[in-house]
Amino acid sequence: MTAARGGARVLVVEDDPDAASVLADYLARAGFTVEVAHDLDEALAVANARRPDVLITDIRLRGRGDGLDLARALADTDRPPVVFAVSGYATREDRERALAAGIADVFAKPFDPEALVARLRAGLRERSSG
């Protein structure tokens, strides 16, 4: 798990350490406070302890559970984060299942990091005004 200091708290859940590092570094440079988890259990522990404002999860994670399971579990908390998903397999079915699980938006890999940051900020604004 890595952390960078900044603005809104973002939890990146990605089982590929290189992809997680690149995304975390980009988000930290954009001004977010970033933590990284690599599987469902670690993500749930970090989310429960640190209460991130935003969660970005890979849809398909190695091990027990996936990003959709994570989104569903967090939706049952008293203050669920805004959840976005990234996937190398962002099919129409993946998108439909993600939206049904409470995920706000799905970004196909490779994605435009500037577009992701803009969408994260919009999601945070929507949450604070709603």
Domain holding 23: CATH number? Answer: 3.40.50.2300
pLDDT at residue 78 is higher than 50: yes
Q: Specify whether the CB–CB gap between 60 and 109 falls below 8 A.
A: no
**Tally of domains within the chain:** 1
**Tens digit of each residue's pLDDT (9 = 90 or more) over 22-73:** 999 999 999 999 999 999 999 999 999 999 999 999 988 888 889 999 999 9
- Cα(69)–Cα(52) distance, rounded to whole angstroms? 17
Q: Which of 1-10, 45-54, 99-108 has the lowest mean pLDDT?
A: 1-10
Give the per-residue pLDDT at 75: 87
The domain of 73 spans 3-129
Q: Tally Cβ neighbours within 10 Å of residue 72.
A: 16
The answer for residues whose C-beta is within 8 angstroms of residue 112's C-beta and 6 or more apart is none
**Tens digit of each residue's pLDDT (9 = 90 or more) over 15-25:** 999 999 999 99
pTM over 0.75: yes
